[in-house]
Structure 1
């Protein structure tokens, strides 16, 4: 007897994650046919030859024998204390181990925190462009994403007045991604203070995605949000994936700050949800003190002459040399968000462009619309390949865009 297809959750139809979506599946098919692709869709340092620092590897491998048992639901005490100490060092108020939650990457903690916060129909203020996990987690936890613009003409920085105009009685949280994925924007202290003031006036939880906090370029300086927030409830996210190049270890953390009386119930909710998933990956947590208390290793990559800096410069140069592209120079994180301009932008479809680039030039990028940007003329690439590879990529991108302009001219003629 035939059966109808199994039903799935309705809200999944509203969720997109183009970073690993249909284009990535098509890329796997092409690789199965023997094609060699340049994958620029994921900020995955290990896939580009980066390794976690040696002292982190030793901390993990040296403690495997002590990793068989579940640990505390909020994380290993030594890991949580190391995170708390690092946050105290940068001015986070009331930073202590009891306010630290360790998760299987920041992704799990984002989902857990929104599950602890939201009732059906509650609203979360998110940047556009956003990192799409934030939108997905909001929707799947029965909330509603409300987007504030981060426009390229403003350096991808938001307008606080526009953000405040979006606040309603249902607004529960304001999400700040700094340094930003996908744009590379780095938020100045004065802007962050205005965002804190908005949260204070309207009783919002600040959610600070700071996973790229150690990755800045040129004269950019990262400013953490929690010290500015003071008594305003703030949840700050960090982890080993990016600054310490250990994505596969799946170790992230969240630090809850603000008035203890205001955040008490939320803390208990996070603790309950942490207990229900038992605990996060234990071996990787032994590397947290080594990361936060050991030698700094990222700046050699982001300073002039460093691999990330030079790849970033190759993106800037590639866009400057093209009549079809512009870019706001990324000041932080591992990405750039170029924009298609001029005749190539006429009738531009970012999904069709990305597929064309994949099929004809063996390059995989993420269309800007995948970051909840309506009418996008953008695409995101990672800065992780070496500079010569990035230069080659932009030659291929220019060929695709030039061909599209030529096709359009012939069609008009």
Structure 2
């Protein structure tokens, strides 16, 4: 989630690849697998479980594979891939029988994977009690759990403690405090020419304009909720705070520019995630993590993303694959290794409690508790198609912010 708007591109690409015929998609996918993948196998006898992973999760899975092979005599083949390739490759290869038994993935893939029939429910049994409830909900579709969660991530306010001793509760107060710090910028948030609705989402929800409505069971339905008066107020706010207004928001502020500015001590506040922390700490900046202030009067709820492992619907031996995930990957030792590799909040409660001894991790956890799960329904792709560009248009300046926002809502509804 390093660059939030990449979600829209990835979502659209995956849907496009999934919709293509097996000819071109399979060829491209096979090439990607050959060129970008490496394979390691745990020695043993019996059946073989194939697992797709990325480099950040490889060490943890190697430990789990070694323990599993020793106990069962089965083999675990780890195929290391580029994370951004995995969803499209999984969608293309599973129906042909060429995909893995298990893959690493993000929870917001779930709706598309279920709709395409490429994932199977995962029976966690009593092990489910050991995981964060929100993390399990993220991998739940129509009452069934489809993934083993391992990490949660979200943006928050990252504060330079040498420049600001606290983060106020409201956006305007934060900007005032940021200006008092005497830095080049009072506040930083990546925007870019295409907008960044993922990073901006907490500010939008503070106006009471979430992307979709929720059912009584807490799952998203396809009724848009970002329109109406509250959405129009957010649109006006983007315009007022943008390049034609206060200038606090700027489409020239890319991810790299924002991170470099914060690293160089040019702002007391930045909206960012755990993927930024190592850069700031290496730069010698003492940081704290705080909730994002409200711009619209309601609680600012950032998106919460959850990462985990999916079980293929075409797994050669689903019982063995389930055993590997539930009894060997879902251990405190393995989950701790995953945490240390990525510094994301662990989904396993016991490991999260240990990780929260780090105040930075604890800060992100506090914000995640009030955050909103990113929708995993397939209809989300229609939203990404228009959302970012509309926000960028408003930040650049418009004579009719409400009209611009209403057109976006109408365009999305036309695609649903």
The TM-score by the shorter chain falls in which range? Answer: under 0.3
Give TM-score scaled by structure 2 length: 0.26
Give TM-score scaled by structure 1 length: 0.27
Higher relative contact order (CA 8 A, sep 6+): 2
